[in-house]
């Protein structure tokens, strides 16, 4: 069967790794420690996928500029205490390894830092599956298209041969901005209705569904 895509790019948090709740509670705990207004669950989940500094500015807008450094450090304190125990979503590893074996180029575009992505890739067991990645401390944060554009340039793949998979509107809007097709997954940070409003090719509830869709359509 002729492939529709050569390159498949995954978001990480909330897409491949089940880290949404840990990120949201870490943001809330950091704000609480500094006696700042604690963002709601919805507000804390909304910023997942952005670079950390940008995410905290959005989630805790009352924080004065001079407190942003402390807010970042308190967030890291809570998140790093848990990140090595956060699991991948069910069937994520099998799906990703199957795609690799079928000859797709696989990459990651994430709001994590390079150090953070390197750490979780090593513990995930699937580091060898990905041949390229971009992080928020290396280029523009989502939804700017730079992450996708840089990955495509590095691998020599055109937008029409690239598919983005993510759990947030930031991921889907980045794909739109880069002229790339996108799939939304509903097991992460943003609700289905928000994802559907950006008209992805499809919405998938889990990796089992995603695997079947890719087998037929990718």
What is the CATH number assigned to the segment(s) 20-84? 1.10.150
For the annotated catalytic residues, the residue numbers are 11, 13
In this prediction, residue 84 carries a pLDDT of: 83
Give the Cα-Cα-Cα angle 143, 149, 150 (nearest 5 degrees): 110
In this prediction, residue 2 carries a pLDDT of: 83
In this prediction, residue 1 carries a pLDDT of: 63
Q: Are 17 and 124 in contact (CB under 8 A)?
A: yes
Alpha carbon distance 116, 63 (integer Å): 24
In this prediction, residue 182 carries a pLDDT of: 98
Helix, strand, coil % in the chain, rounded to nearest 5? 50, 15, 35
Other residues' Cβ atoms within 10 Å of the Cβ of residue 216:
7
| Residue (of 213, 211, 208) closest to 200 by Cα position | 213
User: Mapped to the 3 state alphabet, what secondary structure does the chain carry?
Assistant: CCCCCCEEEECCECCCECCHHHHHHHHHHHHHHCCCCCCCHHHHHHCECECHHHHHHHHCCCCCHHHHHHHHHHHHHHHHCCHHHCCECCCHHHHHHHHHHCCCEEEEEECCCHHHHHHHHHHHCCHHHCCEEEECCCCCCCCCCHHHHHHHHHHCCCHHHEEEEECCHHHHHHHHHHCCEEEEECCCCCCHHHHHCCCCCEEECCHHHHHHHHHHHC
pTM of the model: 0.95
Per-domain boundaries in the chain: 7-19+87-217, 20-84
Query: pLDDT (tens digit, 0 to 9) for every residue of the chain, 218 residues total?
Result: 689 999 999 999 999 999 999 999 999 999 999 999 999 999 999 999 999 999 999 999 999 999 999 999 999 999 999 888 899 999 999 999 999 999 999 999 999 999 999 999 999 999 999 999 999 999 999 999 999 999 999 999 999 999 999 999 999 999 999 999 999 999 999 999 999 999 999 999 999 999 999 999 99
Residue 138 backbone phi and psi in degrees, to 5:
-105, -20
Q: What 3-state DSSP class applies to 193? A: helix
CATH topology of domain 7-19+87-217: Rossmann fold (3.40.50)
Alpha carbon distance 186, 42 (integer Å): 15
Q: Angle, to 10 degrees, between the axis of helix 68-80 and the axis of helix 52-59? A: 110
């Amino acid at each position: 069967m002729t492939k529709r895509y050569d390159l498949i790019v995954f978001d990480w948090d909330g897409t491949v790794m089940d880290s949404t709740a840990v990120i949201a509670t870490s943001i809330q705990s950091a704000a609480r420690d500094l006696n700042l207004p604690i963002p709601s669950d919805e507000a804390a989940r909304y910023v997942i996928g952005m670079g950390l500094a940008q995410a905290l500015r959005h989630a805790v807008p009352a924080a004065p500029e001079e407190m942003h450094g402390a807010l970042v450090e308190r967030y890291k304190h809570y998140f790093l205490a848990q990140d090595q125990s956060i699991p991948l979503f069910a069937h994520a590893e099998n799906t990703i390894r199957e795609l690799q074996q079928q000859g797709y180029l696989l990459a990651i575009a994430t709001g994590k830092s390079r150090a953070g992505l390197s750490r979780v890739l090593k513990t995930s067991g699937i580091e060898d599956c990905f041949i390229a990645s971009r992080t928020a401390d290396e280029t523009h944060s989502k939804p700017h298209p730079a992450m996708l554009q840089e990955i495509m340039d590095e691998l020599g793949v055109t937008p029409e041969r690239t598919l983005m998979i993510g759990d947030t509107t930031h991921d889907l809007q980045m794909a739109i901005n880069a002229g790339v097709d996108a799939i939304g997954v509903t097991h992460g940070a943003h609700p289905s209705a928000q994802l559907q409003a950006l008209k992805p090719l499809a919405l998938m509830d889990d990796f089992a569904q995603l695997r079947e869709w890719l087998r037929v359509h990718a």
